[in-house]
């Protein structure tokens, strides 16, 4: 959301409450305290996070990180990074909200339920870009603890996976986009730069694709009936992913400084993987 956190905090908290209503009770047990420590999530912790997200007082930014486990990644988690657009500490700040579901949720409840829930979570948020897909999930700072060779091999084989890093992109994404996904949410100003819904219809004449206009000049693009990790050892990348990527190409995020690090170069290639 290309908005100051102070403009969207109440809507973000309502989205978090909606998430809590549909996940199993007791799925979120830990949170990041004001000191930066991971501590048990009790009543005082819930009030701390509510104030962090929806409160009106405070300084240059807000953080809320709610997790199922203090040491294991995956499962259920919420990440919120509220930014000020005029922050001198970030290159291109954007207020970011991310929800995680274990794959078992999709298996148990079905794809229609998950798509409906994604719409519910997004409905009140003035997003300019968002998405839902299969992902290799790690909490902040945990990527380095894994075997990156295995992670890279999985990402190379399955471009329909994602390796999200909400806190990093909240500092640098601005009004640009990441790669297309199973569910791709487009709002302003990005949707207008793409040519609006008419341009999307022209670019995506595929029977698998559906476009759902949303209030506030936004749209949900669904690229297939089911989310697909896209096993490139078994099949080619579906053409609708490539078509949406080509339309979005001028507005995809890319690191642009001279002398990019290996990680930055890899990130650039990953975001352009459908081109």
Give the up-direction half-sphere exposure of residue 27: CA atoms within 13 A in the CB hemisphere. 18
Ramachandran region, residue 32 (left: φ > 0; alpha: ψ -120 to 50; beta: rest)? beta
pLDDT of residue 163: 86
Helix (H, G, I), strand (E, B) or coil at 12: helix
Closest-CA residue to 129 (of 59, 176, 76): 176
pLDDT of residue 146: 67
Residue 142: pLDDT band by 50, 70, 90 thresholds? low
- With vertex at residue 236, the alpha carbon angle to CA 230 and CA 237, rounded to the nearest 5 degrees, is 55
Domain count, the chain: 1
CA distance 103 to 48: 29
State yes or no: pLDDT of 177 exceeds 60: yes
Task: State which residues form the domain around 156.
Answer: 5-271
State yes or no: pLDDT of 144 exceeds 70: no
pLDDT of residue 139: 62
State yes or no: pLDDT of 140 exceeds 80: no
pLDDT of residue 72: 75
Could you read off the pLDDT of 67-90 as tens digits, one per residue?
998 877 778 999 999 999 998 888
Mean pLDDT, the chain, rounded, equals: 92
Could you read off the pLDDT of 246-272 as tens digits, one per residue?
999 999 999 998 889 988 999 999 999
228 touches 182 (CB < 8 A): yes
CA distance 234 to 239: 15
Could you read off the pLDDT of 159-170 as tens digits, one per residue?
999 988 898 999
pLDDT of residue 147: 74
Element (H, E) at 177: none
């Amino acid at each position: 959301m290309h908005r100051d956190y102070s403009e969207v905090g109440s809507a973000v908290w309502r989205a978090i409450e909606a998430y809590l209503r549909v996940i199993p009770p007791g799925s979120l047990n830990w949170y990041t305290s004001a000191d930066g420590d991971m501590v048990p999530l009790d009543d005082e912790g819930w009030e701390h996070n509510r104030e962090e997200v929806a409160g009106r007082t405070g300084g240059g930014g807000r953080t809320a990180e709610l997790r199922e486990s203090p040491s294991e990644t995956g499962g259920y988690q919420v990440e919120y990074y509220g930014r000020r657009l005029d922050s001198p500490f970030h290159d291109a700040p954007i207020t970011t909200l991310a929800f995680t579901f274990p794959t078992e949720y999709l298996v148990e409840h079905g794809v229609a339920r998950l798509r409906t829930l994604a719409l519910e979570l997004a409905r009140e948020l003035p997003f300019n870009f968002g998405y839902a897909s299969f992902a290799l999930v790690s909490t902040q700072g945990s990527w380095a603890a894994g075997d990156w060779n295995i992670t890279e091999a999985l990402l190379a084989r399955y471009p329909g996976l994602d390796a999200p890093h909400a806190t990093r992109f909240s500092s640098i994404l601005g009004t640009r986009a990441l790669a297309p996904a199973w569910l791709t949410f487009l709002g302003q100003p990005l949707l207008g730069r793409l040519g609006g819904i008419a341009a999307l219809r022209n670019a995506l004449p595929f029977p698998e694709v559906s476009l759902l206009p949303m209030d506030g000049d936004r749209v949900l693009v669904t690229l297939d009936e089911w989310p697909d990790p896209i096993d490139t050892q078994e099949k080619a990348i579906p053409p609708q992913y490539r078509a949406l990527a080509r339309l979005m190409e001028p507005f995809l995020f890319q690191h642009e400084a001279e002398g990019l690090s290996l990680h930055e170069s890899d990130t650039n290639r990953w975001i352009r993987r459908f081109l």
